[in-house]
């Protein structure tokens, strides 16, 4: 597969690796971006395996909580200017409240807001405001106590990141602190047993290759992998992470001190996982200019 300048640029931005290292990683892995990231990590050349720089969609995440149910709803717009529009904000808030009574995005599109289906409310807003809008997703958390938090709030109950935390026991204060922690650290799962097996396998493969690069005996390598996987679980699971407010304890321990057990959480960030249109345009320009 031909390795383009755009591909090298994307890998460099994703990992922080140097240009030649990024190009070699792509060449060694036939242009496979994920495999190239792992190759760089194995060689100790990747500073971070993050793609947050590729996220571009605008809009808002709104949260709503009622009677042990919490929802976070993402509605996208084309520009951040629209996300600051009071009429758009009121619509998103109303959609979030309607989401408390349904269990999926499709059901939410049929739910009514002010006597109209949400899908029609969106269509009317598109015609009036003049920008395309999308009801992208909703997540729900149910527990005896559900606490919400919005980071970078644009208005009451909505902003760029919405978090829900479900607990048994405890109180609003510890729930909000944990929700703020979730907003800051973006854990992959509640606990080790909830992690995606594919993610665990991939991490273990990378750590195994890293350990073998050391040239140490197999028995030592096994111990190295075991220790590094333990650290990995502590870093990516909510209950295992060090509590940002008090790093001397884990999040689970902090909750326990307040008589709480965390039963679930959700974190929704605007535009998460949506690639920038500008990157496609940049690739086209590079190709036109003969740089790819």
Query: Taking a C-beta distance cutoff of 8 angstroms, is the pair 54, 269 a contact?
Result: no
Instruction: Provide CB contacts within 8 A for 37, sequence distance 6+.
Output: 11, 14, 15, 25, 46, 49
Query: For the domain that residue 291 is a member of, what is the CATH number?
Result: 1.10.8.10
pLDDT at 69: 97
Q: pLDDT for 65-118, tens place per residue?
A: 999 999 999 999 988 888 899 999 999 999 999 999 999 999 999 999 999 999
Q: Which domain holds residue 64?
A: 57-189+253-269
Taking the C-alpha atoms of residue 68 and residue 216, their distance in angstroms, rounded to an integer, is 53
User: Which of residues 289 and 133 earns the better pLDDT score?
Assistant: 133
Taking the C-alpha atoms of residue 153 and residue 159, their distance in angstroms, rounded to an integer, is 4
Taking the C-alpha atoms of residue 172 and residue 149, their distance in angstroms, rounded to an integer, is 11
pLDDT at 284: 46
Stretch 152-164: mean pLDDT, rounded?
95
pLDDT at 255: 98
Given a cut of 90, is residue 292 above it in pLDDT? no
Q: pLDDT for 209-249, tens place per residue?
A: 888 888 888 888 889 888 999 999 999 999 999 999 999 99
Burial of 261 (0-12, 13-18, 19+ CB in 10 A): middle
pLDDT at 101: 96
Query: For the domain that residue 263 is a member of, what is the CATH number?
Result: 3.30.479.20
- Residue 237 inside a domain? The answer is no
- Residue 90 inside a domain? The answer is yes
List beta partners, residue 253. none
Residues 46 and 168 in one domain: no
Residues 78 and 157 in one domain: yes
Please count the structural domains in the chain.
Answer: 2
Query: Which candidate, 63, 88, 236, 210, places its Cα nearest to that of 140?
Result: 63
Query: Taking a C-beta distance cutoff of 8 angstroms, is the pair 174, 254 a contact?
Result: yes
Q: pLDDT for 21-77, tens place per residue?
A: 889 999 999 999 888 888 887 877 765 444 333 333 699 999 999 999 999 999 999
């Amino acid at each position: 597969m031909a390795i383009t300048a755009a591909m090298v640029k994307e890998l460099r931005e994703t990992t922080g690796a140097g240009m030649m290292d990024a190009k070699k990683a792509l060449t060694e892995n036939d242009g496979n971006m994920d495999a190239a990231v792992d190759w760089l990590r194995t060689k100790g050349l990747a500073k971070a395996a993050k793609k947050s720089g590729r996220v571009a969609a605008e809009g808002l995440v709104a949260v709503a909580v009622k009677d042990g149910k919490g929802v976070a709803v993402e509605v996208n717009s084309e520009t951040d200017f629209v996300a600051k529009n009071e009429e758009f904000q009121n619509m998103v808030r109303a959609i979030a409240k309607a989401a408390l009574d349904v269990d999926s995005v499709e059901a939410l599109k049929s739910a009514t807001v002010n006597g109209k289906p949400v899908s029609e409310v969106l269509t009317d807003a598109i015609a009036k405001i003049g920008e395309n809008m999308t009801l992208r997703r909703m997540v729900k958390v149910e527990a005896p106590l559900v606490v919400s938090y919005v980071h970078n709030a644009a208005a009451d109950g909505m902003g760029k990141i919405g978090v829900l935390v479900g607990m048994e026991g405890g109180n609003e204060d510890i729930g909000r602190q944990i929700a703020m922690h979730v907003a800051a650290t973006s854990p992959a799962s509640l606990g080790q047993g909830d992690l995606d097996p594919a993610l665990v396998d991939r991490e273990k493969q990378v750590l195994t290759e890293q350990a073998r690069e050391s040239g140490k005996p197999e028995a030592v390598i096994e111990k190295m992998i075991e220790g590094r996987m333990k650290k990995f679980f502590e870093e990516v699971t909510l209950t295992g992470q060090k509590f940002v407010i008090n790093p001397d304890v884990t999040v689970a321990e902090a909750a326990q001190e307040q008589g709480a057990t965390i039963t679930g959480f959700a974190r929704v960030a605007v535009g998460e996982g949506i690639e920038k249109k500008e990157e496609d345009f940049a690739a086209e320009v590079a190709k036109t200019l003969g740089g790819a």
